[in-house]
Chain A
Amino acid sequence: MRGSLSKRIAIWGLVWVSLITLSLPTLIVIGASFTAGEIIRFPPEGFSLRWYGELWQLDSFKAALARTFYVSAICTAVSLPVGTLAAIATVRYRIRFRNAVQVYLLLPFTIPLVVSGISMMIFFGEIRILGQLWPVGVALCIINLPFMIWSVSASVNAIDPEIENAAMNCGAPPLQTFLTVTLPAVMPGVITGGLLMFILAFNEFLVSLFLTDSRTVTLPVQIYNSIRSVITPDLAAVSVLYIAIALIAVFLLDRLVGLDIFLRSK
């Protein structure tokens, strides 16, 4: 009994230390965003929504926020069909470029984002689309697509290949089989991947830095620009916005897929 008690204390201690170190920065930022004073500090001076108000007054911020939503939506919209089909194809069928695709899946960890950013800037410049907003969404889709493919692949691997035979045996031609059986079965992976793509695009900074200018600047780049001048508590308020969006994504994931499935990553 004593042994198991000390083990429990050790485990719970570890859990709490991890929870606190992981969440402390977040809690500090949230606290600081409600300050009534002029500078970011913790504990905050008084309590007010002043900086949220100031943020909302700032047209440059609102425009950047809207652009970020737009870019993330494009990124997600492109990645959903492309990533889903690519994942099903690479896992299921012995296609020709299987190896090439699998190497591509490792690229985000081997090529620094700076390199991707520069090369895409050059490429977009060449084909004269640099300076528009939608190519940024496509670019973010390209660099993050492997996450989408991974997420869907996990779902594809979990389904019993025999259920597609079962569908055909029930009289469903291949397209119907795909739409009514394969696709619903990989839906958890598609939703997870889609949310992941949205969040990644929403947060992406480095590649966006290369691809945007003052007319197309997105929120992360905007934040970066403003911390180079003067650090005011509205930055803390922006950070809280990011935290809120992350929480919404987790909430949606739980609603649509079930977090238990996600955490077991079946």
Chain B
Amino acid sequence: MVEIAGVSRVFGTVAAVSNATLHVDRGDFLTVVGPSGCGKTTLLRMIAGFDRPDAGEIRIGGVRMDRVPAWQRSIGMVFQKLALFPHMTAAENVAYPLKMRRFDPARIPGLVDDYLALVRLAEFKDRRPHELSGGQQQRVAIARALVFGPDLLLLDEPLSALDRKLREDMQLEFRRIQQELGVTTINVTHDQREALVMSDRIVVMEGGVIQQADDPVSLYRRPENPFVARFIGVTSMFPGRVTAETPEAVTVTAGEATLKARGGAALGAGAAVECAIRAEQIAIGPRDGAPRFENAVDGIVRQRIFEGERMVYAVEVPGLGGAVLNVFDHDPVSHSVYDEAQPVRLEWAARDLIAFPAGPAPAVTTEHKPTGSLTT
């Protein structure tokens, strides 16, 4: 449906988007996620036709978009700041694309009512945007983007201004409407949770470069590089070196510890690696407990935060060169609580430890770290 091939856009010395290649299938919900300034809006503006790529090609439904101006593209867009027409009522806003696209005037009122009903705003149709709440304005913008039956829907962080409860409601609302209408959608966000909840596929961007494109579960389970591993989920990293490798498993020494990691990356013995382990994959327990997983290191609790459904620990591990690991403990069995400065043992399965080749990895922006991350 949408194909983006080698697209770049440079502003002065800033490469806002570099050589981006991706495709979206008909009816799919694709989310582009990445930290602030990584080029998400720039990419979307080029797809919508407000900006042109310096290199590369954008095709929608098989048609090259180079010479198609924005107003001739069948694209509905919900803008970051909504951009409703302030001098029109909700109904007039929704009717606007129908008028501009020369729909049969007799059909317009019916369509407007249908779509206002779809976003549950029927009784607010005669209000101006400034007489509506943030969430209601949001829904007018959604109705306006969808009413003419676009081939493609673009969402530029339309939920970022809302409070958390409303945002989560709207995420589900978007998903419901998108599935009901089956419209191909590209959504942009810097909220990894939103990306995981809403999408069929996720594209992770950083510094204008696409890092990985995958379905949510694969992206979460099999990040392809340290940036993705750190950006999605709460992940602790520490350096190590490969001592032995089989197709099934990699043996890594890190500090004084010898660890088993997931195989398959063909790193080569002696290679320097970055090891990544997710907070929820680590089991925390007393040092004298029976071993549960292949990997075990001893540490000292440095910080403890109670988040209700789980306990979040930051554990310093002297044996890993003093690395601090984040641990989520959901322990349904023992209800043990470990205090600060208490010695503990951390364990995890070999398949959950990922060894990435160490290298000049892209700098990780920490400003959008998810909740529960204590240290980096």
Interface residues of A (CB under 8 A from B): 159-160, 162-163, 165-174, 176-177, 180-181, 184-185, 187
Q: 8 smallest A-B Cβ distances: which pairs? A: A170-B97, A171-B100, A166-B83, A162-B83, A171-B101, A168-B70, A172-B100, A184-B87
Number of A-B contacts (CB under 8 A): 66
Which partner residue on chain A sits nearest B144 by CB separation? A170
Q: Quick one: closest B residue to A172, CB to CB?
A: B100
Secondary structure dominating the interface of A: helix
| B190 → chain A closest CB, angstroms | 19
Enumerate chain B residues within 8 angstroms of A173, measured Cβ to Cβ. Answer: 69, 71
Q: Find B71's partner among A163, A168, A185 (CB 8 Å cutoff).
A: A168
Q: What is the number of residues of chain B that contact chain A, defined by CB distance less than 8 Å? A: 25
- Most chain B CB neighbours (cut-off 10 Å) among A163, A166, A173, A185: A166
The residue that A169 contacts in the complex, of B48, B81, B86, with Cβ under 8 A, is B48
Is the CB–CB distance between A168 and B85 below 8 Å? no
Could you jot down 18 A-B contacts, CB within 8 Å?
A160-B81, A162-B80, A162-B81, A163-B83, A163-B85, A165-B48, A165-B50, A167-B96, A168-B49, A168-B69, A169-B71, A169-B75, A171-B71, A171-B72, A171-B97, A172-B71, A177-B71, A185-B85
Q: Nearest chain-A residue to B94 (Cβ)?
A: A170
A176 touching B83 in the complex, CB below 8 Å, given contacts A168-B50, A171-B148: no
Contacting residues, chain A, for B49 (C-beta < 8 A)? 168
B97 — which chain A residues lie within 8 A by C-beta? 170-171
Interface presence of B208 (CB below 8 A): no
Residues of chain B within 8 A of A184, CB atoms compared: 85, 87
- Chain A residues positioned under 8 Å from B79 (CB to CB): 162, 165-166
Contact A176/B81 with A168-B71, A169-B70, A184-B87 known, Cβ cut-off 8 Å: no
Contacts of A167 on B, CB cut-off 8 Å?
A: 85, 96, 100
- Min Cβ gap B153→A in Å is 11
Contact: B87 with A187, CB < 8 Å? yes
- Residues of B near A174 (CB, < 8 A) are 71
Question: What CA separation (Å) do A177 and B99 show in the bound complex?
Answer: 12
Contact at A170–B96, with CB atoms within 8 Å? yes
Report B182-229 residues with CB < 8 Å from chain A CB. none
In the complex, residue of chain B having the shortest beta-carbon distance to the beta carbon of A176 = B100
The residue on A at minimum CB distance from B147 is A170
For A169, what are the chain B residues with a Cβ–Cβ distance below 8 Å?
48, 70-71, 75-77, 145
Pair B86/A185 contact, Cβ less than 8 Å: yes
Cβ–Cβ < 8 Å partners of A170 in chain B = 71, 96-97, 100-101, 144, 148
> Restricting to B69-114, which residues have a CB under 8 Å from any CB of A?
69-72, 75-77, 79-81, 83-87, 96-97, 100-101
Known: A169-B75, A169-B77. 8 other contacts (CB 8 A): A162-B81, A165-B70, A165-B79, A167-B85, A170-B71, A171-B100, A185-B87, A187-B87
Shortest CB distance A195–B (Å): 19
Partner of B85, one of A166, A171, A176, A187: A166
